[in-house]
Structure 1
Amino acid sequence: MRQRIGGWRWAALWLFAFSLLWNTVGAQIRYTIPEELKEGSIVGNIAKDLGFDVSDIAERKLRIASESNRQYFSVDSGKGDLVVNSRIDRETLCGQSASCLMPLQIVIENPLQMHKVEIEIQDINDNAPNFHNKDGVLKISELTAPGVRFNLEIAEDLDVGSNSLKSYSLSTNNFFRLNLKTVKNGRQIPELVLEKSLDREKQAVHKLILTALDGGNPVKSGTSLLQIIVQDFNDNEPKFDVAVYKASVLESAVIGSSVIKIKATDLDEGLNSEIQYLLAAHTPELVRNAFSVNAETGEITVIGKLDYEATTSYTFDVCAKDKGNPELEGQSSVQIDIIDENDNPPEIILTSLPSPVPENSTVGTVVALITVKDLDSGNNGKVELIVSPDLPFKLKPTFDSHYSLITDSLLDCEVHSEYNVEILAMDFGVPPLKTVKTVNVKVLDVNDNQPIFSQSSYNVYINENNLAGVSLFSVSAVDTDQDKNALLTYSVLDLSSNQVPASSYFYINSENGTIYSMSSFDYEKMKLISIVVQSRDHGSPSLSSNATVHVFILDRNDNAPVIIYPSTSMGSVTHQRMPRSAKAGHLVTKVTAVDADSGHNAWLFYRLAEATDASLFSVNLHTGEVRTKRAVSEHDDSSQRLVIEIKDNGEPIQSTTVTVDILIEDGFHEPISDYREKIIEPNKKSSKITLYLIISLASVSLFCLLTFFILLVKCARGSRRGSSCCIRRTNSEYKNPNRNLQIQLNTDGPIKYVEVLGGDMMSQSQSFGSYLSPMSEFSDLTLVKPSSTTNFTDTLNVLDASLPDSAWTFESQQVRKPRCKKLMCIHTLYYLYLTAVEAAQAAVSGEQILNTRTPTETCRSSSTLTGPLSMWRFWEET
């Protein structure tokens, strides 16, 4: 290639020179330089050699003309030297030519001239011999006879002359030698001669180094690695590394898992050494379904499901066969052991179905029989059974892998009617496997719970005069047992303390506990009825419980007011007298009435319905006092008739009237006037009365003070012992349901009275009544003997009390215990004490006893009192 390039360049140069010579005439100069000169090296003084002065170079414009694209030379215009402008490679310019000339044209423009210059490029030993293939390969059969020759690749040296290629050499070996063969053009070709037979199985590859040397000084060389491959002949069968391959694999190995890799070797090569692996022809189908052998790599892989419990080990033969002609093969055995894994969870088997267990069964009662098994081996097959610790059951081992499920504590059907017993079976493998089986155990109910009412006692309120057969109330009880043990029946029990059987008053629905009234009730006769309701289950034996129902009768306005004063027992008209000298505001009389009802129904109001002279008299709305509206004149009739109407506050309103005939007399003196005159002029009789009252007052006061201090000391001691002298109130329970002490302040119109009731709840209570008129101007104190609360009409016949100014009620319709039993005594004593004080005051002042109060009313009105009265307030507030 380089020779072609050099020839083309020379042709161009000669053509260029010929064209210049055709136009001009000049001299010819030759220079000789070696290749590879450095840039700036001086070839010669071109100006001097051409006969020019240095100063003429710039004026005449001397320059180098070349057809080459590259300027190898330039002219130093200051000195006239021809200088190397770039690297010159002879092999590039001239190739293998013996002579290498580079023509140059020197052009002078003023006047125009051209001169030819030749530069000879001399070769230097700058190139070493070179092999095109640094690694040569030569294949020789191991059957080749000694003496056979093989041509080798020749080397090439770009240098010429003495620097060119001169000789070859071969590295030392035992099988080959080098021979140089000379051809027509004098070139030498290296040959490789086999001197000894080859054996591929002993040495399959021979590596030799071929060296080419040139004639330069110093000598340069080039090398080529010659690799001689000995071709094989199929004279060796494949052989396995070991006689028996042993491996193990987990039984859980997935399909495609590698088990072991067998390997056989064949000393041959090529097809003779290419081995295929396969199972022996007599391999069982069981092995073929579980394993396969890769024909190329000899890798044995899993192709089927392995199960240690089915087969613990596999033993089979494998073959290795080459591809020579004829084929040769070798054999070996493979033993694959299956490693047991914990791949089988424990199995829980119920030997017997669980039977229902009565809740009263003893601890240790057998519920079910259980068997457990695990198909794994070793620790993987050891199983532990566990029952949840929060259940009343446990497992008792009987013999190997057999257990009994027994009760571990007492059962209660009302708490749990059945149990889902979770039995956990866990083996000892890594990781452990577990199985959970749920055993349903039913608990049979036993009648061990009595019915329980929602309340121990109930309060029911009904109006008097109610309709018979009306539903009053429903009681409810529950039984935590089941089925017939929880089926309840209700009934009413008759108490021995009741005078009248409760069944005559009430009826109860035996299925739902609804209570109905069998008769109508009258509040004035009966205020409270207590009955006992029983709930009984249907178990065997039957159990029952009781609850008390207190039926309170509520008052209705079914009684009209009854006149107490003035008395009309002798006729329908009462007669009163008054002096004609009476002034305005004179108290003529006082009408007093009571109402058998209670609360608002007993609030009474008075009004003047008719009058002979309405301008003369008036009636107080609340007290019933009849007073003159003006002074009586001589023209007024001496006989006056008044019709007074008394109404209650109930719904509907009940009323009654009383007719009062008033006789106006001249010179009539009232008892009160005479009494006041006697005060001004006391006589012996009044003095004696005063003395008696003072003595009585002193006695009662002393007695009261002693009682106060005695009770105070007792209560102080009782409080130290953790008890109290007072009994707390309760709204629905009674310490003793058969006895009841009631203190009731009722308001029947303007009349205030105290009732102390005693006796059984169902019986007709005894009553001590005190009827008072604290706000009246004329009052009387009446002590009523014990009587029945129902015989109210008879009580009214013995009452003679004054009308109150306003109506109030201490306790209405509701019956409660007194706060303190001992306070009852204080009430009574203080009441007597205050009565005596008022009587003494009246005796001293010469007036009548105007005000009489109940103990409670007296206490409330004495907020400013001191001494015993302040002690009373202490007890009252306590």
Structure 2
Amino acid sequence: MAGSGAQRRRSGQVLFLFVLPLFHPALCEPIRYSIPEELAKGSVVGNLAKDLGLSVLDVSARKLRVSAEKLHFSVDAESGDLLVKDRIDREQICKEKRSCELQLEAVVENPLNIFHIIVTIEDINDHAPHFPKDEINLEISESVSPGMGTILECAEDPDISMNSLSKYQLIPNEYFSLVVKDNPDGGKYPELVLQKTLDRETQSAHHLVLTALDGGDPPRSGTAQIRIVVVDANDNPPVFSQDVYRVSVREGVPPGTSVLRVRATDQDEGINAEIIYSFLGVADKAQHVFSLDSTTGNIKTHRSLDFEEVERFTMNVEAKDRGSLSTRCKVIIEVLDENDNSPEIIITSLSDQILEDSPLGMVVALFKTRDQDSGENGEVRCSLSRDAPFKIHSSSNNYYKLVTDGDLDREQTPEYNITITASDRGKPPLSSSTTITLHITDINDNAPVFRQSAYLVHVPENNQPGTSIAQVCASDPDLGSNGSVSYAIVASDLEPRVLSSYVSVSAQSGVVFAQRAFDHEQLRAFELTLQARDQGSPALSANVSLRVLVGDRNDNAPRVLYPALGPDGSALFDTVPRAAEPGYLVTKVVAVDADSGHNAWLSYHVLQASEPGLFSLGLRTGEVRTVRALGDRDAARQRLLVTVRDGGQPPLSATATLLLVFADSLQEALPDLTHGPTPSDPQAELQFYLVVALALISVLFLLAVILAIALRLQHSSSPTAWGCFQPGLCSKSGPKVPPNYSEGTLPYSYNLCVPGDQTNPEFNFLTSVDHCSAMQDILNNDTSSVLLASILTSSVEGDKTSKLVST
């Protein structure tokens, strides 16, 4: 609510600035009041609020007040009346000025503005005329003829107009009368005129009373005693060469400078012609500024002149001879102004806290200038220091406004030291300056900025949970809560339900923590979107991407895909043509490693070989090739033990066993799996033994069937009678590979079957799995099983092309 109120006031100020020019002519005219001097304190001068067009509520809301160098008035906060605050003495305030006016400024806020007020102080008859001396001593020669006049000292009355000195009166007597004459400057002075010839011997002294009256109602008066001493004859008074002496003097002349010389002559001779000059009725200030040589009439400066203090001096100079005859003249000294006063800058109102989003033209300060010089020496111009977004608007009566003239940015310039310079137009010009400091108040106008546009982090797998993996940092040039940054994860390519179990971020420091150990083989990389958000209102934020690459460690050994083990875990075999030439590709060891990079670079090495120089193994390919042709002395069956190593540090490895049989066909390769001698005519012997074996098997089978039927007919439940027909006579673990072929490899789906209780490695019968159980039932339950086994063994060893192979 406070923010909206401030915004309405600010918008009101802006509207007032647009409306103000419409009323500018009216506002420029000062408000005038007229009051008599010595008005009682608290007296009402006028209703200022009404004259300014303000309501009673606006008086306090807009802080109506008046300002002046010396405040004689105040404003009633309830009624808006302009009241007398201090004693007002027109003579003290305005000195000898005919027109006495006090200039005030009425200041209102929201928006800030100023109005000019002129209060005219009217004179009242509060001063009685008074003479410089209470007693006037005159010496008049008895030889003076009637009609001779003697100028008397003037009375002074600081009041003006009708209240000033109006007339003089003299107590009636037979010898003297009073004549009031006009001065050249408009004043009046009394002159005592002799009406009757004096006789010193008859009356040597005369006492008169001179009264001065003003024109007030009622009039006020002052008196002076005139003592006249009659002296012996001196009938010619001095005479000045001019009635009025005028001279102009620059205010900068040093003390002791001769200003002018007055000259008077006396037609008398001797002692009666000796003239003495003196000031007559001169104000104390003039007597301190000028000195008069009583003998020569030369007037000099006694101290420095100041035009701003007194612009003109008016003095009366009396020339008196030794016979006490006198005359007088007026001396007017004009003081010429020089540019000896620098302009003054007076700050009347200042707003030193400025929002950085303040609009153009907003009033920051009000100030006025003053120069005590006159003419061009007192004309003042104002200027600002450069490179500041402010300017000056001139107002009336040397008033100025300092307003904004550009965009403000606290982050670039938090404060401005504005130097206001005032210069007059004198020759040479004088100037003065004052500096004000304006503080720019922060608003949340800057979003956080990350130090990097994107972050890339490498984290090795198998890291410790809870460790720090990265830190993001964003800066915000704003102040306070506007610049306080917090961090959070706002998006990721991981599933949201598992994100918190992988990583977390510290809201204060921006440190990213791993919540679990990463596995390169399961997760090689993931991406997070981190947000930096300040605490301003409204809050501003910025996002940055953080890509986490999970580095590989050598934690997986190679795995051999080929050659694969058989279903029972035994190694299979590969055949090699007997006529294979050198370089013939026999087989290929295929292995993989779940790691990556160097950790997955596999190399193949031969650990053991039945014939070391017969085969070669590709270091990187795993290809097994013949190095030379098979020799007569080389065994048909070869065994290679191959190790596969990765490129990790330390390296991990796996082994594979290759069983290689040199044969032109599979049937030829099977007998080579045994270690017995080869008969000279294997084809003939094999056919003979097969015929005999088939005959015996058929006979035994028929006997078994007959026996089974007979036992069934007798309802015998003895399990032994059916022992030859029970399944499972093979090993319960399934078909077995003869132990001596445990490292062989069959390239196709062949299985070697051995009776479950047979331990003789020389008895190998190659048949299909489906017929293994029935055959073993007969062999295990017949009394001729030993003989049959001997025959089958011989036949298998002698025939390399047996057709009992079941595919």
TM-score relative to the length of structure 1: 0.44
The higher radius of gyration belongs to 1
TM-score relative to the length of structure 2: 0.47
